[in-house]
């Protein structure tokens, strides 16, 4: 299981933690708004509804946070792979997309308290579901297949780790197909460019 949290501030080092938080919150309050980078392509957490409005569970949390600060909430749509670079560079004050908490990411950014737990799984076309039925998911069961994942995601890193294991065992690697959104992973699967989607 992985924990998901919102990011509220970019940090240069552990030693700057308190100062970075104080400066960021003071800046947000004085400007009267909080700018949030978001990739609204991951329902039900964050997505664009039929009216073109960004909504979802993570969005509700960010709105509550903005309300508590007494500031206006503004979203800046960003590709998932640009979320952390944008936060670290100061393009926005906070990150509003569901993001897995990892030790590597925690070296660069400050996470809030995690608010969700997820597990990664394999999504296949119905016609191929019998191939996986009753099997335990393992790197070996994916050997030689093509898997679609979001760029810069934890599932992408996990597939890379699977490939390291398969290489050591002398087995065919997984062909990793990188895309920008969950919708694109599913589209890649349904057009048969990929054999499976790996995501949480």
CA neighbours closer than 13 Å in the CB half-sphere of residue 187: 8
| Those residues with Cβ within 8 angstroms of residue 143's Cβ, 6 or more apart along the chain or in another chain | 166, 171, 172, 173, 174
The answer to whether residue 75 scores a pLDDT higher than 60 is yes
Query: What is the C-alpha separation between 105 and 198, in angstroms, rounded?
Result: 20
Token reading at 105: 């990411």
pTM above 0.85, yes or no: no
Q: How far, CA to CA in Å, does 147 sit from each of 1, 186, 200? A: 20, 11, 14
pLDDT of residue 22: 42
Query: pLDDT per residue over 31-65, tens digit each?
Result: 999 999 999 988 899 999 999 999 999 999 999 98
> Angle at the Cα of 41 (from 133 to 174), degrees rounded to 5?
40
Select the CATH number that applies to the domain covering 121-199 from these four: 3.90.550.10, 3.40.50.10420, 3.40.50.300, 3.40.190.10.
3.40.190.10
**pLDDT of 18 over the 50 cut:** no
Show the tokens assigned to 129: 């579901």
Superfamily assignment of 2-118 in CATH? Periplasmic binding protein-like II (3.40.190.10)
pLDDT given at position 128 = 87
pLDDT at position 23 is 54
Round the average pLDDT of the chain to a whole number and report it: 85
**Which segments of the chain belong to CATH 3.40.190.10?**
2-118, 121-199
If one compares 110 and 73, the residue with the highest pLDDT of the two is: 73
């Amino acid at each position: 299981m992985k924990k998901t949290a919102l990011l509220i501030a970019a940090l240069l080092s552990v030693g700057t933690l308190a100062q970075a938080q104080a400066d960021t919150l003071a800046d947000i309050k004085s400007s009267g708004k909080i700018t949030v980078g978001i990739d609204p392509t991951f329902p039900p957490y964050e997505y664009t509804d039929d009216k073109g409005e960004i909504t979802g569970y993570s969005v509700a949390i960010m709105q509550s946070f903005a309300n508590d600060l007494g500031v206006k909430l503004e979203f800046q749509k960003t590709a998932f792979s640009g979320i952390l670079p944008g936060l670290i560079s100061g393009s926005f004050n906070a990150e509003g997309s569901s993001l897995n908490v990892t030790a590597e990411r925690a070296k660069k950014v400050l996470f809030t308290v995690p608010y969700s737990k997820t597990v990664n799984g394999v999504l296949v076309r119905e016609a191929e579901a019998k191939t996986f039925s009753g099997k335990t998911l393992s790197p070996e069961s994916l050997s030689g297949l093509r898997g679609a994942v979001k760029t810069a995601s934890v599932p992408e890193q996990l597939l890379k780790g699977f490939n390291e294991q398969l290489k050591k065992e002398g087995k065919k690697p997984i062909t990793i197909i990188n895309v920008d959104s969950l919708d694109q992973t599913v589209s890649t699967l349904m057009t048969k460019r990929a054999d499976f989607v790996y995501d949480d």
